[in-house]
Amino acid sequence: MTRALVTGGAGFLGRNLSERLQADGYEVVALDNLSSASPLGVPDGVEFIEGDVIEPPEIAGRFTHIYHFASPASPPRYLTDPIGTMRTGAEGTRHMLEWAERDDAVFTFASTSEIYGDPLEHPQQESYFGNVDITSPRACYDEAKRYAEALVHAFHRSGRHTRTRIVRVFNTYGPGMSPDDGRVVSNFLVQAIKGEPMTIQGDGTQTRSFCYVDDLIEGIIRLSRSEVALPVNLGNPNEITMLELADRVAEIAGDPGKVFTDLPQSDPKIRRPDISRAVELLDWKPVVELADGLVETHQYFKQVLAG
């Protein structure tokens, strides 16, 4: 019997992961405080428990797998609750690791490309230590995830044999995102659907690499079933500027024009995963083209906004 606890299971990635686990025959329980839940909510058939990983409730029965995905995840969310973000990364991760140890469950942690900060190495390999400004407002998220990763390694090495997996998630998009999430793909698509100009931060030459959610979930499943305790980058190495992304969105959703605002402090200028480790150890690479993923996500947002 495989039974998974998905923290953050009502969120964008957590609900997509829960759906996949269910399809693979797992019994799934989602634990979420609903602070930034997906408009689609928890998939049918998944048991939902409202609660916070900082002070988790008791849940009866043993879990064979714990996927720890709960965290404020987009800048507007973590910048408005920096202390809650750090507590979620620190206290929440410790509670979930202790739970995994107690249940002898495989523990998979959603880390982030943000641990590389504003990178001085490009593309980013897992061996890169990162360039995070600890005094910047974003540090609440970046450092919480860095601490959480170190804690996962500590549990793994402690002799208590916790089976741990760490996925460093690079920018991922797709159905299930919140329209008001504040990430660039959702911002541009929602603005285009509403006929409002797309907001470009800075001059729009900064780059990101966008992975479609189905590709990411496949990678997470492969990682959690592997024996790989090292951190693994999962993302799509196709890198584009924000100006190019706006043009791609305009081709699909119509062109509402662009407005330019200041670049946020410590915003990474470039971002692209080196996925050699995932290719080699998990035989994984993304297969969904950005154009196809954007069409799916555009359809999804049109339905969500139509209410």
Residues known to be catalytic: 141
On the CB side of 193, CA atoms within 13 Å amount to 19
Specify the 3-state DSSP secondary structure of 79.
helix
Please give the single-letter amino acid code of residue 129.
F
Q: How would DSSP label each residue in 63-130?
A: -SEEEE--S--SHHHHHH-HHHHHHIIIIIHHHHHHHHHHHT-EEEEEEEGGGGBS-SSSSBPTT---
Residue 218 as a binder of ligand NAD (CB under 6 A): the answer is: no
Q: Which of 108, 124, 164, 172 binds ligand NAD (CB under 6 A)?
A: 172
- Indicate the residue among 56 and 256 with the shorter CB distance to ligand NAD: 56
Residue 35 as a binder of ligand NAD (CB under 6 A): the answer is: yes
Q: Which of 52, 101, 149, 218 binds ligand NAD (CB under 6 A)?
A: 52
Residue 206 as a binder of ligand NAD (CB under 6 A): the answer is: no
Task: State the minimum distance, in angstroms, from the CB of residue 195 to ligand NAD.
Answer: 25
Residue with structure tokens 């957590």? Answer: 14
Q: Tell me the two tokens of residue 199.
A: 């907001």
Residue 110 as a binder of ligand NAD (CB under 6 A): the answer is: yes
Q: Tell me the two tokens of residue 192.
A: 């285009």
Q: Which value, in Å, is the radius of gyration of the alpha carbons in the chain?
A: 18
Q: Which of 6, 8, 40, 164 binds ligand NAD (CB under 6 A)?
A: 8
Please give the single-letter amino acid code of residue 58.
E
- The stretch among 7-15, 118-126, 241-249, 271-279 that binds ligand NAD (CB under 6 A) is 7-15
- Kindly state the number of chain residues that form the binding site for ligand NAD, as judged by CB under 6 A: 29
- Indicate the residue among 150 and 259 with the shorter CB distance to ligand NAD: 150
Q: Which of 86, 151, 169, 294 binds ligand NAD (CB under 6 A)?
A: 169
191 CB-near residues (< 8 Å, 6+ apart): 197, 198, 199, 256
Residue 70 as a binder of ligand NAD (CB under 6 A): the answer is: yes
Residues that bind ligand NAD (CB under 6 A): 7-8, 10-14, 32-38, 52-54, 69-73, 88, 92, 110, 112, 169, 171-172
